[in-house]
Structure 1
């Protein structure tokens, strides 16, 4: 029987007493008190970030967060008390702690507007067993405004953008990325710092996090004023996202699976022969041989007889290679034997079924060292460019209740389960960085947790079905993931499980062709453009040849992706340098336009593009909402429309509804077969008039970590709409091989004037040598 410890009245003698009120102790940049048998600490980490920590009185807790890496920074906090309320105030946030109830509430220090509040007596600790140890079920309830819209929780495949009215069990599994974080249209975010399975509930009575085990209620309130500001605070709290190499933003081809090294290299050769751009090729599982040798981190001698030749051949073709690695090992592997001997396996079944594979203890630093030792010797020493870390939840099959009682380095598996992908990616990222600074770490992962952005992880949406309803859900999946603070997300273009289409002709099924074409259009406007799946191969030549409709559509959008690489790479720099985001809901760019708050069918790509994927079969047109407050250009025609209304856009198979915000400045790259083929010494700059605008073009050495030492360059562009003047500022910074003289082909986009990927004559061409220049139109 569970015993519940509620907030019940307990008086105590504190360090200083006031006869008519409860007492508290000042603690650095915060306070602590004991109220209703609960020890409470409220502490400012910055003017915008506040930590609230509650635990049963008498508990001795020294918690080191797995996700939070920020230490409290020096912050001016004014603390005062009146009656039974302690008020703590920074320049941004005012916190009120009720000494009678233990409730905490938050107010904007600037406007005085209430932001967020705990529910009265909303903290509950229920005695439970966690394996053989005493623990608590920990629950904290809050009260939100009736019509308040919230985003986040990682990736929940419920098809919803607004997560109000949901009850979600947050436990990582394939296709579900579970992160106990949400942010509100009121401009704040909440991170619940627990790694145990947690139930998030929102109903008309309350909003609550309820973790199955834990020793404390521990959450962080962060105020950012808007979507981008909250993401900035979450990154400040949990870590910044490093730059990925330029090539990874190109087109990446995969399949479940290439079965020999010759097959894999041949795919790259065929793309080069077709002159269709390609930058990445992915080697999926079983390159190690049979399942009893699962994840041996070595190549089977029959199917991959010369792995070094394979890697070198890919590189000679100017492409890059992902290699898959799993967290589980079959008993036949030396890794399994060493981990078993050192008691570093978690004893439950993971993929594949029947092979008796076990995951290693990712929470153990020594185990992570051992894992990398094998990965480095068997694979990384050959020179691949990126890792596909599959099953990072991990897969858990033949589930038994006692599996969650399994011990790990940090406690039971239950207590740290959701942080598995965070710990696993940490090991690979940090070890590769220690091994080499010349090759940026790239991790493609199937799951994530708060803070994982700091390990250069790009998470895909899992092994999803290849159908229209699943495709439609990928948009809110991506946006909620991004609003949780993790900027890099992608999905298997065409969906993973495509076997249902084989009954209708497979690759020749007209509906599958349509679905794939539409999905690839969406993929061109995600942080990683990657085609992958089982049952039906997806390489472009599977769809015929030039002149065949779907081949032409696929080629068109791959080329479009490469045309906007300077825009994408500069947006990636904004992610790293300014805590920005790549995929953003309409609210992120237009916080005053409430009509856009719950739109889950379109999104912003960076700060300039509005994208509306076609996610229904056979549609001839789509109703597109254009946010208020600006004008919008149809990317394909140049037609201008006022924001704040819906417009009908025709959607032939080769058109994705795509709009550009007035005031945008878009750099347009050269036609290439791979990202690094040509320097950006002859760029087209497209200006979309109708509002003032600015853009920063970012360039570096495209790989390595020299940019962290300031080895990069930027060029700021500014458009003055009233004066019709484009200012190109002095180039700042420097790096080896930097372009010092170049041409800019300037186009002022005109209404009803084609602006797609067809050639458009520039209005002016200028020579730029790195110095300020103003161009009048």
Structure 2
């Protein structure tokens, strides 16, 4: 039932020099609530204010003479019904309030101004509202003096991005290092340290001005399109990111093999070269799950061959057999594709005949020169272009290709005069990669519904995570400066929903041979979402081709990556269900700690790890801040560090500094050659005991690593771990909940309890209502207790450790 309230108001505009108000000519004429949407009529247009939930509200302005476009490329959340939200309208002689149980939208009548608060806390307000002038179309907002700003996609600017005016135009930056204002992935989203975000829901190009003139103003600038934004609020960062990813979509679980090691370079010139590389990994017993083929798979030369979209028969004589042989070894095949069809390619005539290319104003294929040759661009906004492009993915997926790399998808060169079926190049530019990923994801759902896609791309838009896009940070320089920017880029993108942002490990651009840099980058890579060394071929990216010391360090890093698979896969599950980033800035759990607002040189890996990458050459010691939420233990030595302190930590060449939260449960496995051998029928469960933690919890998620939406299909297992600590006793309970379509197994858990300083008096195991003493071992030097615990899905196992000697 529609709720309608209509009040005609005559407004006398009040103008003062001190008013931080909207466009001085805007006047409120009337307002009405229609089916849960507040409609404000002004002298120059109409506002639509629509709550999505108690934490999200959308505001649209439709200037007089324009028609509202309701279609969003980013938002997939359905607004809650008025009966669920129960937004309340209150009108006074001076203002209107439209309030959910969380967000209150206040509309001052004179001077006209829209402001937002959350649970009584003022968040922000429109400053001038919508204005169209020589800059184009703008929306501006008031900022507090001291709030930090994040977002705008992938940039290298420092974590707090306030003070920058940033182009919203996806563009590659070859060879960047520690500073880049414009990169492959721009997102029209700003998060504030005041715990709100504003997402400007409009695709055409523009700018985000994050108070570059130091006037306490946030401004969105665009050439055209929707004047729509969503205000997202939360009580903390976890809730804020949760709400944003509810709005724009959650990342599906990648296939489990995506968390393994990749062999990749620019590029493998032949089948023989690729086979020899895979054989070398196996011979040297370095774990490997996938090999990635760059553009030589379809051509002998870099230039002139893009768009062939078929294996070069001379250098890849038996591609089907090669893919099958790799699969037998547990190694997946990934192929690069680009959206450009060169006039010299084998598919040019077919592309013209089938009208699948973007056009000029006369309807002819728009062609132009760029680095790789004279080209046309596939119009993925044209149903014919989309279907044609998918036909190749379908063909090669049937051949056995397990994953796809979409390169140059900004698009790298996208002339303004080019036209897509749904708009101009500048209107479609920022959503090209987004829709390219959607093309592949939709194709898998239709033609390969039992297979999780792997979609590696360097360009996208708000909400691209819901298509399973795995973004990377572009062609970073192979230098220390290149490494230094990587944690910031990944942390920022994780907050913006793109939790799998990662880098070419070791760096991409340049022929810089630096084994220390290479080792440190791979050691950092253990604790970033995707482990994928990749570089120009002049200096090998693959560890099997590095000098012995670098190879040993790389192998150790890769082996640790595989040991952590149970923990990392559980992080992926948390991201899928709650939007939680895998990499989290320190301010994520200390949002009021202003000194952490700009910190990117250390971060949290999930909830339990604190990571301090080595970002400079020759480092022998580093300063580490230990978050105040818990004490911390050195992951390698067991040394204890007090919560809330900053301490100097020694650095060795064998690993980067990594610490574990007191009370953490860390599930791990033994090293495997690839994820085809993955199993948690037997695994190690590390618990980091500390007298400061009276109780704690942990979990481990498992499924077959292949089935889409396995959790929703009840084809999963979720193991829960709990601890209770008294001065004289430590109790640890292990339990398991299985979905009805998960094949249950009896497990053997090797419980490894750290920081047990005196040999326990006894250890009792309670299971199936029986309690009995069990054998254990205690390492006096390492202060570590080892107990084997049988676990089945029918009954929890409770271990009671007597600490009377402590």
Q: Taking structure 2 as the reference length, what is the TM-score of the superposition?
A: 0.87
Q: SS of the counterpart of 1:231?
A: helix
C-alpha separation between the residues in 2 aligned to 1:530 and 1:632? 29
Q: SS of the counterpart of 1:659?
A: strand
Residues 730 and 772, structure 1, Cα contact 8 Å, conserved in 2: yes
Unaligned runs of 5+ in 2: 12-27, 174-182, 360-365, 759-777, 802-806
C-alpha separation between the residues in 2 aligned to 1:282 and 1:172? 24
The alpha-carbon distance between structure 1 residues 354 and 554, as it changes in their structure 2 partners (threshold 3 A), is: closer
Partner of 1:775 in structure 2? 799
| 1:606-685 matches, cutoff 5 A | 606-685=606-685
Cα RMSD (Å) of the superposition?
2.3
Residues 665 and 695, structure 1, Cα contact 8 Å, conserved in 2: yes
Write the deviation string for residues 209-268 of structure 1: whole angstroms up to 9, x where unpaired: 333321432100111222221111111111111111111101111010000012112211
Partner of 1:484 in structure 2? 496
C-alpha separation between the residues in 2 aligned to 1:27 and 1:92? 20
Partner of 1:184 in structure 2? 192
C-alpha separation between the residues in 2 aligned to 1:244 and 1:351? 36
1:322 maps to which of 310, 334, 354:
334
Shift of 1:759: 10
The alpha-carbon distance between structure 1 residues 595 and 127, as it changes in their structure 2 partners (threshold 3 A), is: closer
The alpha-carbon distance between structure 1 residues 483 and 447, as it changes in their structure 2 partners (threshold 3 A), is: same
Partner of 1:494 in structure 2? 506
The alpha-carbon distance between structure 1 residues 351 and 626, as it changes in their structure 2 partners (threshold 3 A), is: farther
1:533 maps to which of 515, 532, 535:
535
Residues 189 and 197, structure 2, Cα contact 8 Å, conserved in 1: yes
1:385 aligns with 2:387: no
The alpha-carbon distance between structure 1 residues 19 and 138, as it changes in their structure 2 partners (threshold 3 A), is: closer
The alpha-carbon distance between structure 1 residues 759 and 272, as it changes in their structure 2 partners (threshold 3 A), is: farther
1:749 aligns with 2:754: yes
Write the deviation string for residues 23-49 of structure 1: whole angstroms up to 9, x where unpaired: 211122221112241321111011111
C-alpha separation between the residues in 1 aligned to 2:372 and 2:397? 29
Residues 232 and 579, structure 1, Cα contact 8 Å, conserved in 2: yes
1:733 aligns with 2:739: yes
1:714 aligns with 2:718: yes
C-alpha separation between the residues in 2 aligned to 1:107 and 1:455? 33
Write the deviation string for residues 349-375 of structure 1: whole angstroms up to 9, x where unpaired: 678525212221122233211111133
C-alpha separation between the residues in 1 aligned to 2:34 and 2:109? 16
Residues 638 and 751, structure 1, Cα contact 8 Å, conserved in 2: no
C-alpha separation between the residues in 2 aligned to 1:643 and 1:43? 43
Residues 355 and 384, structure 2, Cα contact 8 Å, conserved in 1: no
C-alpha separation between the residues in 1 aligned to 2:343 and 2:782? 59
Residues 201 and 226, structure 2, Cα contact 8 Å, conserved in 1: no
Partner of 2:412 in structure 1? 395
Shift of 1:644: 1.6
Partner of 1:427 in structure 2? 439
Residues 701 and 735, structure 1, Cα contact 8 Å, conserved in 2: no
Write the deviation string for residues 139-158 of structure 1: whole angstroms up to 9, x where unpaired: 11111221112221111122
The alpha-carbon distance between structure 1 residues 342 and 127, as it changes in their structure 2 partners (threshold 3 A), is: farther
Residues 36 and 101, structure 1, Cα contact 8 Å, conserved in 2: no
Residues 790 and 797, structure 2, Cα contact 8 Å, conserved in 1: no
Residues 22 and 100, structure 1, Cα contact 8 Å, conserved in 2: no
Residues 115 and 124, structure 2, Cα contact 8 Å, conserved in 1: yes
Unaligned runs of 5+ in 1: 1-13, 129-136, 507-511
The alpha-carbon distance between structure 1 residues 232 and 286, as it changes in their structure 2 partners (threshold 3 A), is: same
Partner of 1:583 in structure 2? 583
Q: SS of the counterpart of 1:155?
A: coil
C-alpha separation between the residues in 2 aligned to 1:246 and 1:375? 21
1:123 aligns with 2:130: yes
C-alpha separation between the residues in 2 aligned to 1:23 and 1:279? 62
C-alpha separation between the residues in 1 aligned to 2:367 and 2:539? 29
1:764 aligns with 2:766: no
Partner of 2:484 in structure 1? 472
C-alpha separation between the residues in 2 aligned to 1:498 and 1:351? 25
Task: Provide the aligned length of Structure 1 versus Structure 2.
Answer: 730
C-alpha separation between the residues in 2 aligned to 1:349 and 1:725? 70
Q: SS of the counterpart of 1:604?
A: strand
Once the two structures are overlaid, the 10-residue window that deviates more, 524-533 or 211-220, is 211-220
The alpha-carbon distance between structure 1 residues 22 and 775, as it changes in their structure 2 partners (threshold 3 A), is: same
Partner of 2:466 in structure 1? 454
C-alpha separation between the residues in 2 aligned to 1:389 and 1:101? 50
Shift of 1:590: 2.7
Q: SS of the counterpart of 1:729?
A: strand
Shift of 1:671: 1.8
The alpha-carbon distance between structure 1 residues 139 and 706, as it changes in their structure 2 partners (threshold 3 A), is: closer
